Amino acid sequence: MRYFFATAYDGTNYHGWQRQENAVSVQQVLEEALSAILRTEITIVGSGRTDTGVHCKQQFFHADFMELVDEAKLTFQLNSFLPKDISINSIKRVEDHGHARFSAIARSYQYKINTKKDPFLKPYSYYFPKALNIQLMNEACTFLVGDHDFESFSKVKTEVNNFRCIVSIARWKKEENNVFFDITANRFLRGMVRAVVGTLLRVGQGNLSLKDFQQIILSKDRRKAGAAAPAHGLFLRSVQYPSTIFV
């Protein structure tokens, strides 16, 4: 029987989601917790990767069990066992074909920027005191929406069949001393959101024109895009699934 787990985590102390040989990842910590509680080796499959230092408000993973799970009890046990920077928010049974990665129909990220120095925001927001033209950045976002090849914003060494993503939302908003970038798509490439943010910041400063930004997308060349924005400002906000996979 297959179950979906909704998890949240502060990515500061982890080398991303995916298990690695020589660094601690979120996946490793979760697998070790489940294996210790259930006294059997458990392997999990996440809805996707997050880079080192990226935070998550909602990430899903699935795991298979031979017997029915007491969802409330296991949630309590995991939250008692896990470190303070990782939580389990829900456990739900799904159909056997339900897949945390391949069944997802949309993923949403938010990038946070603070324009006024604030030590309390340092781990979770990128301090960027330079003036930004939010209207111009939103005009540039219109080139992102739709079905496009985003190779220009992908890490160069990544194993994917194609670089096409369907972006449904891409927008900036300013609230007092904070600036937020929201983006939703059916899938994301490795490093894509941070590269998009870094390039749009150049637009907002007047260093790139709208035509330049459009040409960067069409070039399919990562070298032409801007540097990736720092990881600590990025949050995976939600992952959406069709209701039909839940039991």
Give me the active site residues, please.
51
> What single-letter amino acid sits at 162?
N
DSSP letter (8 states) at residue 193: H
Angle of helix 192-204 versus helix 134-141 axis, rounded to 10: 130
Residue 223 φ/ψ region, left for φ over 0, alpha for ψ in the -120 to 50 degree band, beta for the rest: alpha
Tokens of 101: 């990665």
CA 34 – CA 4 distance, rounded (Å): 13
3-state secondary structure (DSSP) of residue 207: coil
Tokens of 46: 């996440």
DSSP string of 18-57, one letter each residue: S--SSS--HHHHHHHHHHHHHTS----EES----TT-EEE
In this structure, are residues 85 and 10 in contact, taking their beta carbons and an 8 Å threshold?
yes
> What single-letter amino acid sits at 18?
Q
CA 222 – CA 162 distance, rounded (Å): 15
Instruction: For 59, list phi and psi in degrees, rounded to 5.
Output: -130, 145
| 106-114 vs 126-127, strand pairing mode | parallel
> What single-letter amino acid sits at 70?
D
